[in-house]
Structure 1
Amino acid sequence: FADGDGRHFLTLLEEVFQAAFDQPFDRAGLSQFLQRRAPAYDKNKDEHYNLISALHKSVRASDPDASLYWLARMLHGGENPLFIARRLVRMASEDIGLADPTALRVTIAARDAFEFLGSPEGELALAQATLHLACAPKSNAAYVAFKKAQALAAQTGSEPPPARFLNAPTSLMKEQGYGAGYVYDPDAPGGISGLSGFPDRMGPQDLYQPTENGAEARIVEKLEGWRALRREKL
């Protein structure tokens, strides 16, 4: 009954002693009583974090079966389904990203569906989203690129945008070079002007490194061409 957990066994023992029974009961009666108890799960302590970690890493490992199991364990233990929904949204961006751009929409839709339906019907939407994430191609390229961008922004926070990217609503701004040399990209060959959007003293930076996984593979070749064109313009 305690699933091998000594601490939980003591809790069960305490429940039995504290329970008020109208008549003696046998082993079958004890079993029926204990099976009505809540499972060994503490939403505020170690088990809360252990199980969500197991769910997240099972999704990351593309194991849909284990992912569903840990989802069910958490729901059976009384976890707030919206806490799980928030983590699923995080997984969609952190572990899947542009390898499957639909993953984020699916997880947001699952959250909305749960809020609309409630438990238990809405839990199926969380299960569906969990399966989608576990079976999706994986890429953390967006996550890694954003971390690089954050670090770079912290180091170069005083650098101004390139003047060509600035609007010039006044004659003084035009005299200062605002907007000079700007090319409207939709009018350029292929829709790409090759202008860099980084501060002039920094030059182009290759932060995003897409993988060959899933839909992200289609970005690789395009991005290589765009970056080559920007370097030609230097």
Structure 2
Amino acid sequence: MLSRIAYPRYPVAMTSLFESAGLSDGAPQPLAERLRPAELSEVIGQDHLLGEDGPIGRMMGQGRLSSMILWGPPGVGKTTIARLLARDVGLEFVALSAVFSGVADLRKVFEAARARRETGAGTLLFVDEIHRFNKAQQDGFLPFVEEGVVTLVGATTENPSFELNAALLSRAQVFVLNRLDAAALEGLLARAERLLERALPVTQDARAQLIDFADGDGRYLLTLADEVFAQKAELDAAALGKFLQKRAPVYDKSGESHYNLISALHKSMRGSDVDAALYWLARMIDGGEDPRYLARRIVRFASEDIGAADPVALMISAEAARTYERLGSPEGELALAHAVIHCATAPKSNAVYTAWKAASALAKRTGSVAPPKHILNAPTKMMKSLGYGAGYQYDHDAEDGFSGADYWPDEMERVALYQPKQAGRESAIADRMARWQALREGRK
């Protein structure tokens, strides 16, 4: 842990990216760079971390800084926060990108940081996209973080629990940055208008559409606004839509957003919220998810969460999957929506799912116990002499079509695996099963 007491403050130049590249102050700069916050209090949308009561705000109030991982979507201020933290605590700011850096680059940074420390100065090492470093590279940080040679601030758009080593996570606090909401993005546009001393040349509807285009990314919003400010004529929503390209939604088919959204779809159907289920289905398809994967999950849902309460759900889900295979996109997507609506509005029961899990666990515990002899076939005289098939009752010939015979292994007591619920068709199944149990007990 580094502090102002342990490491005397030295003037730390907060150079912009343009200054770092050797460009003069008069060189043209993107709007996002010109509006980069100069104080932590100017960072929009992250008050839960940076406010006086937030964890980072409390660190700053105490004049100290510990290693941390900043986890959040693109364009919410991760790099800016790291630069301002370095300045406010008096540390040299050194930035690396895991996309373009390797072991040799890290070694140079650590050597320079160690030399800097010997002079009484500290180093904040900012690593962008830190999740892209492999396990060995992440392990390389550990001794330098432990010794206080560097204070590590890593930035990632991926879930650190999945992408970062446990050893590294144990030495750094993880802070979650919020996606910028409409109010925060509106605040950025207002700042841009004050800086340029003129209003954004768009109608109110177009302004809302511009914020929608940004999809929570402040940097992207200012990039779009930079183009719009260059226009002289006022743009309405239709003109803006033609002028700007809507950003593709943030969605990684193999990353956390994939698992988050499929969980949202599954649980929305389970919770019988048909509108939410349709929304999450559309979000995944719009994000580029393979509809065949969605079809498989819907079929699974029909058995897991509906089961015998509505047997038609499995038929419709399976048919929707076949329909998509035949029609493809976009026509086949309607069949998936059909299945989602049916599943979300169907009566729910996980009795089949629970029964199968219990049966599988029981089968593993009991091993190779044999069926009772009376239900074994006896095609040979020897098998008949051993009692195979003896006493078997043909249920169709029994009263009520039910013999009440015991079909469990002789060594085992009966176990109630399938316990239907009073939902949909399972209500009638439960009644039949109760009647059969009463007959079974009466005919023993």
- The TM-score bracket by the shorter chain reads 0.7 to 0.9
Which of these residues, 393, 406, 420, is aligned with residue 210 of structure 1? 420
Structure 2 counterpart of 1:225, one-letter code:
R
- Residue of structure 2 equivalent to 1:130: 340
Question: Is this contact kept in 2: 1:12–1:34, CA < 8 A?
Answer: no
Question: Is this contact kept in 1: 2:215–2:247, CA < 8 A?
Answer: no
Cα deviations by residue, 1:94-124 (Å, 9 ceiling, x for unpaired): 0000110100000001001111111001100
Could you tell me how far apart the structure 2 residues matched to 1:96 and 1:61 are?
A: 11
Question: Is this contact kept in 1: 2:214–2:247, CA < 8 A?
Answer: no
Could you tell me how far apart the structure 2 residues matched to 1:100 and 1:39 are?
A: 35
Structure with the higher strand share, 1 or 2: 2
Structure 1 counterpart of 2:216, one-letter code:
G
- Residue of structure 2 equivalent to 1:184: 394
Could you tell me how far apart the structure 1 residues matched to 2:357 and 2:217 are?
A: 40
Which of these residues, 351, 361, 373, is aligned with residue 141 of structure 1? 351
Question: Is this contact kept in 2: 1:204–1:231, CA < 8 A?
Answer: no
- Residue of structure 2 equivalent to 1:81: 291
Could you tell me how far apart the structure 1 residues matched to 2:222 and 2:356 are?
A: 48
Could you tell me how far apart the structure 2 residues matched to 1:11 and 1:188 are?
A: 76
Which of these residues, 307, 312, 330, is aligned with residue 97 of structure 1? 307
Shifted more, 152-161 versus 131-140: the winner is 152-161
Cα deviations by residue, 1:116-175 (Å, 9 ceiling, x for unpaired): 111001100000100000000000011111111111111112210010110001111001
- Residue of structure 1 equivalent to 2:215: 3
Instruction: Summarize the Cα distance change of 1:2–1:190 in structure 2 as closer, same or farther, 3 Å threshold.
Output: same
Structure 1 counterpart of 2:388, one-letter code:
Y
Q: Please give the secondary structure, in 2, of the residue aligned with 1:225.
A: helix
- Residue of structure 2 equivalent to 1:152: 362
Instruction: Summarize the Cα distance change of 1:180–1:144 in structure 2 as closer, same or farther, 3 Å threshold.
Output: same
Question: Is this contact kept in 2: 1:167–1:179, CA < 8 A?
Answer: yes
Q: Does 1:169 align with 2:367?
A: no
Alignment coverage as a number of residue pairs: 226
Q: Please give the secondary structure, in 2, of the residue aligned with 1:84.
A: helix
Normalization by structure 1: what TM-score?
0.88
Could you tell me how far apart the structure 2 residues matched to 1:118 and 1:193 are?
A: 50
| Shift, 1:203, TM fit | 3.2
Could you tell me how far apart the structure 1 residues matched to 2:222 and 2:307 are?
A: 44
Question: Is this contact kept in 2: 1:2–1:40, CA < 8 A?
Answer: no
Could you tell me how far apart the structure 2 residues matched to 1:206 and 1:25 are?
A: 73
Structure 2 counterpart of 1:95, one-letter code:
D
Could you tell me how far apart the structure 2 residues matched to 1:12 and 1:70 are?
A: 28
Question: Is this contact kept in 1: 2:309–2:349, CA < 8 A?
Answer: yes
Could you tell me how far apart the structure 2 residues matched to 1:35 and 1:83 are?
A: 28
- Residue of structure 2 equivalent to 1:39: 249
| Shift, 1:38, TM fit | 1.9
Could you tell me how far apart the structure 2 residues matched to 1:74 and 1:12 are?
A: 27
Could you tell me how far apart the structure 2 residues matched to 1:72 and 1:37 are?
A: 16
- Residue of structure 2 equivalent to 1:197: 407
| Shift, 1:221, TM fit | 1.4
Instruction: Summarize the Cα distance change of 1:192–1:31 in structure 2 as closer, same or farther, 3 Å threshold.
Output: same
- Residue of structure 1 equivalent to 2:278: 68
Structure 2 counterpart of 1:104, one-letter code:
L
- Residue of structure 2 equivalent to 1:18: none
Unaligned runs of 5+ in 1: 16-20
Could you tell me how far apart the structure 1 residues matched to 2:429 and 2:423 are?
A: 10
| Shift, 1:36, TM fit | 3.8
Structure 1 counterpart of 2:385, one-letter code:
E
Could you tell me how far apart the structure 2 residues matched to 1:162 and 1:44 are?
A: 49
| Shift, 1:224, TM fit | 1.0
Could you tell me how far apart the structure 2 residues matched to 1:184 and 1:209 are?
A: 26
- Residue of structure 2 equivalent to 1:56: 266
Question: Is this contact kept in 2: 1:89–1:108, CA < 8 A?
Answer: yes
Q: Select the structure of larger CA radius of gyration.
A: 2
| Shift, 1:206, TM fit | 1.2
| Shift, 1:225, TM fit | 1.8
- Residue of structure 1 equivalent to 2:199: none
Report which structure shows greater RCO (CA 8 Å, sep ≥6).
Answer: 1
Unaligned runs of 5+ in 2: 1-212
| Shift, 1:204, TM fit | 2.3
Question: Is this contact kept in 1: 2:215–2:249, CA < 8 A?
Answer: no
Q: Please give the secondary structure, in 1, of the residue aligned with 2:425.
A: helix
Normalization by structure 2: what TM-score?
0.48
